[in-house]
């Protein structure tokens, strides 16, 4: 019997904010920064900028106050033991080196070992890790390690492709350059055919 593969594309929206952000301190700091840049923080266009930035950081870093493992606790006993893939999960994150955004898509696949997890939970785990100061390499590994640990999967594959504003808008200034990272665990690392099946399916044009 040919292997069964479930492939889905998903969009997810996770609301919330980071309760640990000291909004008033951020507002005061941004106001000082505006002044040090030679601008007048009392100008109409800049008057509310410090508060807007504080609200933005609270939203962008909402994942600091959340545990992605909680999202993966909803599991179902199921006999399906072939590859499951959730593809093209959009995300936004913040580069911890420059505090500039990077955005792209994550592709997540796993081999169940008696239990499956809701597809939306995979997307929410990605989103929770992304809503933190990050580097793409760490983000990729964190997602793979957590799914392997919590779901007990026989194998996990994660591929992320993203564009980084810290490289496209400053520094080397190469717009449209995209970074790709992968993390393979269990059967995805040990079995070349399993890994190749995953890579083929996330690149398959009929799903794009």
- Encode pLDDT of 96-132 as tens digits: 999 999 999 999 999 999 999 998 999 999 999 999 9
CATH T-level fold of 6-13+71-207: GTP Cyclohydrolase I, domain 2 (3.30.1130)
What residues does CATH 3.30.1130.10 cover in the chain? 6-13+71-207
86 phi, psi to nearest 5 deg: -115, 120
Element (H, E) at 185: strand 179-186
Radius of gyration of the chain (CA): 20
Tell me how far apart the alpha carbons of residues 183 and 178 are, in angstroms, rounded to a whole number: 17
Structure pTM?
0.86
A 10 A CB-CB count for 1 gives 4
Q: Which residues does the annotation mark as catalytic?
A: 95-98, 136, 164, 166
- Encode pLDDT of 37-77 as tens digits: 999 999 999 999 999 999 999 999 999 999 999 989 989 98
- Encode pLDDT of 126-149 as tens digits: 999 999 999 999 999 999 999 999
Tell me how far apart the alpha carbons of residues 73 and 202 are, in angstroms, rounded to a whole number: 25
Tell me how far apart the alpha carbons of residues 156 and 186 are, in angstroms, rounded to a whole number: 6
């Amino acid at each position: 019997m040919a292997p069964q593969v479930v492939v889905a594309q998903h969009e997810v929206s996770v609301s919330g904010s980071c309760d640990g952000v000291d909004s008033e301190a951020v507002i005061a700091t941004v106001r000082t920064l505006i002044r040090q840049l030679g601008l007048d923080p009392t100008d109409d266009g800049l008057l509310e900028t410090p508060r807007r930035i504080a609200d933005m950081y609270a939203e962008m870093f909402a994942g600091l106050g959340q545990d992605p493992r909680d999202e993966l606790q909803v599991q179902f006993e199921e006999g399906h033991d072939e590859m499951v893939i959730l593809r093209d999960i959009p995300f936004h994150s913040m580069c911890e080196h420059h505090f500039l955004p990077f955005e792209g898509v994550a592709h997540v696949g796993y081999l169940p070992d008696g239990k499956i997890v809701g597809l939306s939970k995979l997307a929410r785990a990605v989103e929770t890790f992304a809503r933190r100061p990050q580097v793409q390499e760490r983000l990729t590994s964190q997602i793979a390690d957590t799914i392997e640990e919590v779901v007990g999967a026989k194998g996990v594959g994660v591929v992320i492709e993203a564009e980084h504003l810290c490289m496209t808008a400053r520094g080397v200034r190469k717009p449209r350059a995209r970074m790709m990272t992968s993390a393979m665990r269990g059967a995805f690392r040990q079995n070349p055919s399993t890994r190749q099946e995953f890579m083929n399916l996330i690149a398959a044009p009929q799903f794009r």
